[in-house]
Amino acid sequence: MPNVEIFDISRRKVGEIALSDEVFAAESRPHLYHEVVKAQLLSKRQGTAKTKKRDEVAGSTRKVLKQKGSGRSRHGDSRAPIYRRGGTVFGPMPRDWEMKVPRKVKKAALLSALSDRLREGHLLVIETLTMDAIKTKKVVEFLGRFELSSALLVDVTNRELSLSCRNVPTAKYLSSKGLNLFDVLKYDHLVLTRGAVEAIEGAMKP
């Protein structure tokens, strides 16, 4: 098991933790990232875009011109697509964008990303990220103290930290239950509390 140093919020070393090989030393599988991230982003699409077809727009059903004798082309009612306020041809219709990805593939991709962060030296373990007040400034100071360009902060539950991260574009808070591949890949560094490490290992181990 790889041992990782544990720091407090002031960047003082307070110990070490042995990380699970099944979770943090998994095989690197970057070829899975595209499929899983694509499915994750597609699931956020509402799929409610819709245009009205010829039979749905308002308008008379009377034939615009008589069939013969006017010298103009034959035509039906004014709801045809070539007229103003007519229906739309082949416009978007409501649809479900969900893309099915096997659960094992999602898990393998997330384990690969967690392991890659550790191998890259971009995984940081903090004893605790408890904050006595909701302060954006404290999150910015934390990122500067550890020289983190951008970071995903993961704790078991931490309301103060969650609210303090909202206005920091280079940081995001997630609970350990909400850990996902897209956010792990989006931020340069992954910051886990000791409690988050234990929760993630408990959920991800076979």
Burial readout 23-42 (b: 16 or more C-beta within 10 A, e: otherwise): bbebeeeeebbeebbebbee
113 pLDDT tier (thresholds 50, 70, 90): very high
Q: Tally DSSP H helices, then E strands, for the chain.
A: 7, 6
Q: Based on C-alpha coordinates, what's the Rg of the chain?
A: 27
Q: Where are the domains of the chain?
A: 3-45+98-204, 48-96
Residue 71: half-sphere exposure toward Cβ, Cα within 13 Å:
0
The 3-state DSSP class for residue 154 equals strand
Average pLDDT over residues 50-55: 94
Percent of residues in the chain assigned helix, strand, coil, to nearest 5? 35, 15, 50
Whether 2 shows a pLDDT value over 80: the answer reads no
Quote the pLDDT of residue 131: 85
Which CATH code of 3.30.310.50, 3.40.1370.10, 3.60.15.10, 2.70.170.10 fits the domain covering 3-45+98-204? 3.40.1370.10
